[in-house]
Amino acid sequence: MPKPPVELLAGTATASIIMLHGLGADGFDLAPVAQALDLPDVRFILPHAEPRPVTINGGYVMPAWYDICQPDLSREQDDAGFAQAREIVANLIRHEIARDISSTRIILAGFSQGGAVALYSGLTLGLPLAGIAALSAYLPQLPAAVNQTLPIWAAHGTRDDVIPLSLSQASYARLAESQLEMHLYPMAHEISMNEIADLRAWLQTQIG
CA–CA separation, 182 and 173 (whole Å): 11
CB-count burial class (<10 Å; 0-12, 13-18, 19+) for 13: middle
| End-to-end CA gap in the chain | 35
From 95, 189, 192, 198, the catalytic residue: 189
Tell me, yes or no, if 78 is annotated catalytic: no
From 16, 112, 121, 168, the catalytic residue: 112
Tell me, yes or no, if 41 is annotated catalytic: no
Tell me, yes or no, if 26 is annotated catalytic: no
Length of the chain: 208
CA–CA separation, 85 and 91 (whole Å): 10
Enzyme catalytic residues: 112, 160, 189
